[in-house]
Amino acid sequence: MKKKIRIYENLEITDLNSEGLGVTRVNEKVVFVKQALPHELVDVHVYKKKKKILYGQVIKYKKTSQDRVIPKCKHFGECGGCKLQFLAYEQQLYYKEKRVIENIKRIGKLIPEKVLAIMASPKIFEYRNKLEFTFSDKRWITRKEIDDNLEINNRNALGFHVAGRFDKVIDIDTCYLQTDIINQIRNKIRDFSLKNGLSFYNLTAQKGFLRNLIFRTTLTGELMLAFSFAENDVAKIETILDFTMNEFPMITTLLYFVNTKKNDSLYDIDYKVVKGKGFITEVLDGIYFKIGPKSFFQTNSFQILNLYRKIKELAEFRGNELVYDLYTGTGSIALFIARNIKRVIGVDSVPEAITDAMENAKLNDIANAEFLVGDMRDVFTQDFIATHGKPDVIIIDPPRAGMHHKVIENILFAAPEKIIYVSCNSSTQARDLLLMSEKYALSIIQPVDMFPQTPHIENIALLIKK
């Protein structure tokens, strides 16, 4: 029996959700629609139902939004990134700020005393300092290839995963998230690999030689390239590395991993440096940050400084404060504020990140920053607070899942005068703010756009002790 095709006509899109999908309703049910913008009138094919939500795609536009723009990238719609590239940037900012405010009000049940206008990114393309590309022998066949009935000879790809299809990779020739030199290097490496019979990885069978290609850059002009190979074949490794070194002298450090595991994670794998120091260095307000292939660092180099300066501005440091920097990562915020305070203690669960933080403190001759490693629930306890002293300010920058309730309980026990909560997920941030609202007033929120062309939005919240 054929599955019934559900088509709904003349639906008006009223909003965008957190994933950048258009929002409408059918028979009191919410429908999320791909590539549909508010104020558009569309006919929709519903292809999936998940819980009480319907998912659809546009089969006909009856009326389009004046805010719709032509996407710059030809891979838009198939690639899993840059989902808002068809929306004018000013409107991207509007809907991101709107979502932050709505989450704070709806989930957090809070009204900020002051909402600062969203901070636009200085650059909306070529802003990322890190991108990871995947080699695959299961190239995604494009709609144009299917429609044109083209003969498919090459199934190898070097690019990004298709949204919702981890086993398929789109072959990317031009990505506008990094500078064009990255495209040139990547495309030449792909062509050389194909010409020399170097096998691309099969994600399902877990076979093949070439696995991943990782680029990292700095505003100082340094460029890191890291290969991930699935086989420790010395001859093949030397072949691709020799080509890369000879062809691209602008690469300041070249290294590689041999990853024979089932997953792509590299954090538990050692790497070998072929050229350079094995790291690159970023400079922010005179502070040097050593960035290795595994280091966490905010990916929008052009906006990082604005984010950190705003944190410092909201804190209004006087110079005598003890600050806790929870979920410190590589200690970038802690080191950025260290010269304006008496002492900062950073805590994170990732040993490699804390190692980077300590090395960066030494690199900058910062002696008033201390870094500790361990699960936040186990390290940040009442005993910890008794040992190190009650902080004047706590800065929090947790992962998307937000904070564990025990961490929140201990923050309330520490009772700092100010809490600065930085979040990449305003939904979980709002939940956590509600749990602290009995003792803290939500003074200011500051949305910050770190990821143009995507639905993601960073938000800073300043809490003042009541």
Q: Tell me the catalytic residues.
A: 424
Alpha helices in 298-450 (DSSP H): 301-315, 332-337, 351-363, 376-379, 382-388, 405-414, 426-436
**Can you tell me the distance from the alpha carbon of 108 to that of 436, in angstroms, rounded to the nearest whole number?**
10
Could you count the other beta carbons within 10 Å of the beta carbon of residue 184? 14
Residue-wise DSSP of 102-161:
HHHHHTS----SEEPPPB--S-SSS-BSEEEEEEESSBPPPHHHHHTT-------EEEEE
Q: Which of 215, 207, 234, 344 is nearest to 287 (CA)?
A: 344
Classify 434 as helix, strand or coil.
helix
Alpha-carbon span 173 to 186, nearest angstrom: 8
Helix (H, G, I), strand (E, B) or coil at 287: strand
Indicate the helix (H) or strand (E) that contains 444.
strand 440-448
Evaluate whether 217 touches 210 at the Cβ level (below 8 Å). Answer: no
Q: Kindly list the distances between the CA atom of residue 402 and the CA atoms of 186, 397, 465, in Å, as whole numbers in the listed order.
A: 36, 9, 20
CB contact set of 415 (below 8 Å; sequence gap of 6+): 390, 439, 465
Name the residue among 418, 428, 462, 426 with its Cα closest to residue 442: 462
CA 35 to chain centre: 21
Could you list the beta-strand ranges (E) of 37-105.
Answer: 41-50, 53-63
In this structure, what token pair is assigned to residue 65?
Answer: 């939004």
